[in-house]
Amino acid sequence: MALPIKYSFKNVTVRWRSTVATIVGVGLTILVYVGLQMMAAAIEASGGNTGDPRNLLIVRRGADSESSSQVTREDFATFQYAEEIARDAAGKALISADTLVVVYLPRNGGEKAAGGANVIFRGISPNGPALRPQVKLTTGRMFEGGKREMIVSQKLAARFDNMTVGSTVKIGVRELKVVGQFDAGGSAFDSEAWLDADEARALFSRDNYCSVLIRPTDEAAGKKLTERLEGDKRLAIRVVSEVKYYAEQTKTAGPIRFAANWLAGAMSIGAVLAAMNTMYASVGARTREIGTLRVLGFRRRTVVTAILIEGAFLASIGGLFGCGLAFFLNGHRAGTFNFQTFGETVFELKLTPDIVVQALVFSAVVGVIGSLLPALRAARMPVIAALKEA
């Protein structure tokens, strides 16, 4: 068995032109597959990395996102002073009534040159930042209520116009001054701009809040408060763990992962045909050599196995080539439309070991499938006829 395999590997270097063509074809397929998988994984990581396990999020019952939820000020008044809610050092309740608004803004370079996208503006209460410890102010200062000020994430500022500290964002005839930038640690908050909740309601003519974030004193208090609020038929609200809520919001990654698999499947047909064409040409060019192996006593299944290994080896090199190209995407910041919030989700692409393993397995499978028919043809070739081939 060692001789046929050694012979197949030697053939890879001897017929290097067809080898390079196969490697490049498979590599480009893997590049597309890996790029889309990186995008889906980054969006999932963004949602999975958001929230504090101690916090509870209150939204309207039946709403699948904060942007489609409404919590009235009357409802908010019924529980904002609940004894189950923890207090900070100053004795103020750790609660934030939030207002979400989606605003269309031009990207860096201007709308005519680079287009624009929807940006999420989140109005938060004074204790909103304390409830989100993963968000760190990096430049400037925190906004002040009543002054039409805002802070934006660094990643968002890198993609949109007029978001540096000191700049002014124009929203119709209204203006908001950027007084600070923050880093949200790769969480969903990296896709947001923050301002005072009541200022947001007044600025965008919103009567109600979209959600309320609270931190109970302990787990037992959280369960008690949840049961009371969800059991009150007047409120019609749902209480969910903040971590769980944002994990559910990663549905945006589903279509992208589906697209990755669909495109990879479609492109793999071309890669399989390319591998098959290469292997057919390779088998046809060494008919007498394969016949010689049979005369030396090697069985058909040994010849088939050797050619399948050769095809898998070629495709695996192509997979490594594709992953190598994808490495240059690592750390690249990008954004995509979020179907839950209707805003842009900003994320950072990362090439993880899991994605590399998936890509290499996928490429090896492409190689095996592409080599199967040529291998069977070589194995079924009559020995005498093979030896007579020129």
Say whether pLDDT at 351 is over 70. Answer: yes
Q: Is 388 left (phi over 0), alpha (psi -120 to 50) or beta?
A: alpha
Give me the pLDDT at residue 66, please: 85
Check residues 376 and 111 and name the one with the higher pLDDT: 376
pLDDT at 257: 61
Structure tokens that stand for 390 in this block: 């020129």
What average pLDDT does the segment 245-268 reach?
66
Q: Are 373 and 284 in contact (CB under 8 A)?
A: no
Q: What's the confidence (pLDDT) of residue 76?
A: 92
Q: Are 275 and 370 in contact (CB under 8 A)?
A: yes
The pLDDT value recorded for residue 3 is 47
Q: What is the mean pLDDT of residues 113-124?
A: 81
- Taking residues 288-300, report their average pLDDT: 61
- Choose between 307 and 237: higher pLDDT: 237
pLDDT for position 178:
94
Give the span between the Cα atoms of 293 and 298, in whole angstroms. Answer: 6
86-95, 129-138, 289-298, 357-366: least confidently modelled range: 289-298
Poorest-pLDDT segment among 1-5, 83-87, 209-213, 376-380 = 1-5
Q: What is the pLDDT of residue 94?
A: 94
Q: Which of 250, 249, 262, 247 is nearest to 43 (CA)?
A: 250
Q: Is residue 246 very low, low, confident or very high in pLDDT (cuts 50, 70, 90)?
A: confident
pLDDT band, very low/low/confident/very high, at 9 (cuts 50, 70, 90): low
How many helices and strands in the chain, by DSSP H and E?
13, 12
- What value does the mean pLDDT take over residues 149-163? 89
pLDDT at 386 over 80: no
pLDDT at 60: 92
Give the phi and the psi of residue 122 in degrees, each rounded to 5.
-110, 120
| Residue 390, pLDDT score | 46
What DSSP string runs through 105-125?
EEBTT-HHHH-EEEEEEEEE-
The mean per-residue pLDDT over the stretch 45-57 comes to 80
The reported pLDDT for the residue numbered 229 is 92
Q: What is the mean pLDDT of residues 228-241?
A: 90
Query: Would you call 204 exposed, middle or buried from its count of C-beta atoms within 10 A (0-12, 13-18, 19+)?
Result: middle
Q: Give this prediction's pTM.
A: 0.70
| CB 335, CB 347: distance < 8 Å | yes
Pick the more confident residue, 247 or 251. Answer: 247
For the chain, domain boundaries: 2-47+252-388, 62-235
